[in-house]
Amino acid sequence: MRVKKRKTRGKTGFLPPAWKKVPWIAVAVLILAAMLWYLLRGHPSGVDMPIEARLVELAAARGVVSDAIAPDDPIRKIDGVFVRTWEISFPDREARDGFVGDLEMEGVAREAEVSLPEDLSPQEIRMRIDLGAEAFDLRLAMIPPRPTEPPPTPVPTRIPTATPRPQPPPDARGRLAILLDDAGQNFDLVPAAAALPKAVGVAILPFLPYSAETATEMYDAGHEIWLHLPMEPEGYPGNNPGPGAVLMEMTADELQMTVHSAINNIPHVVGVNNHMGSKATADLKTMTWIMQELTVRDVAFIDSRTTTRTVAEDAARAQGVPTNRRHVFLDNERDRAAILRQLAEAVYRCRMEGEIIAIGHLAPETVQLLAEELPGLKKKGVDLVPPSALVR
């Protein structure tokens, strides 16, 4: 029997089975190399970015807010290397550990040396990325969790009660002076005011139709006469103090002539208090010029205290002018009940403090109430005295 010989293929035939996989291995190697190149070199937005901005970007990607990054200032130079220390606070450990991995990748991308994490405390680690000419010491901490606040303890409902005021001793007595302002505008109330106890003083505005006549009538009835000197208030000229006013724009000579003329316009003046004057009484220069004129005229001064910024008393004492201040306003509210409360306040403070000056207005409600109440003050532990008795 003849046996046919099988023909074998030459070198140009099929490859052996082991060699069939070679092209696919080469393709896989190329793909893997491309991926590694992309991972390590393929982030131009990161590598080309300044390192400071890149660190901020990486931290922000891990949930770090800008306020939680604290770069040092100034930068230190150690062994020719500019070293910066940054403290970065992360919301939790997972975010911090993720940033550590990001930092290691960034070091590879930038061909920089990144140190291993060094524990500084249970909450803080330290790493260093060294780029040659500059380096960053990074302290990576975790924001401590806020302590759980206990539920608020319910506050028992209490009925508010007024704190009792200290009371003067039963036998306490004091001296009270009352000065009625704004006289001179009309004459209708002058007879009723003249009938009040003689210790009540009256302060008269200058250069008004009844200024001199009011001064004469009240003086003849035994009352002290004071000049109610108009002074510039806040809001002038919209808020006008009236004729004969002391204004801030005046020179020293003009101001002192104004005061001199106002005193001359009111006969029998023993002292001065201010009408309005919230701006003038707060100016030391203005008040000093006024007090210099009062020294020449030998009259006293009572500060009506139309502003808490007043320096009038200080200026008076510096120039040797007898002085004091208003302690209670009687009738800012032109209501009988309100005026009665303020008079009671003056009586209380008088017995507690010893001496009080109360200022009211020559107004119908005030004059009528004083006519009814003043005769009974002595039984309440109060001695009524002229205003000049309480200046010193």
For the chain, the first-to-last Cα distance in angstroms comes to 159
Report the CATH number at residue 106. Answer: 3.30.460
Question: Cα 4 from chain centroid?
Answer: 115
**Residue 15 falls within a domain, yes or no?**
no
Number of domain units in the chain: 2
Write down which residue in 100, 119, 142 finishes a domain.
142
Q: Are residues 96 and 206 in the same domain?
A: no
**Residue 265 falls within a domain, yes or no?**
yes
Q: Which of 346, 345, 304, 310 is nearest to 325 (CA)?
A: 304
**Residue 168 falls within a domain, yes or no?**
no
How far apart, in whole angstroms, are the C-alpha atoms of residue 277 and residue 304? 9
How far apart, in whole angstroms, are the C-alpha atoms of residue 212 and residue 190? 12
Question: Cα 218 from chain centroid?
Answer: 48
Sign of CA dihedral 88, 93, 98, 100: positive
Per-residue tokens: 176 = 């009270």
The residue segments making up the domain with residue 133 are: 42-142
Per-residue pLDDT of the chain (392 residues), as tens digits, is: 444 444 444 444 444 554 444 454 654 555 555 455 444 444 444 667 888 888 889 989 998 888 878 877 567 788 888 888 888 999 998 999 889 989 888 888 888 898 888 888 888 999 999 988 888 889 899 887 666 677 788 777 777 777 888 999 999 999 999 999 999 999 999 999 999 999 999 999 999 999 999 999 999 999 999 999 999 999 999 999 999 999 999 999 999 999 999 999 999 999 999 999 999 999 999 999 999 999 999 999 999 999 999 999 999 999 999 999 999 999 999 999 999 999 999 999 999 999 999 999 999 999 999 999 999 999 999 999 999 999 99
Q: Are residues 200 and 275 in the same domain?
A: yes
Backbone torsions φ then ψ of 276, nearest 5 degrees = 60, -130
Report the CATH number at residue 247. Answer: 3.20.20.370
Q: Are residues 246 and 379 in the same domain?
A: yes
How far apart, in whole angstroms, are the C-alpha atoms of residue 368 and residue 69? 74
| CA angle (309, 313, 317) in 5-degree steps | 145
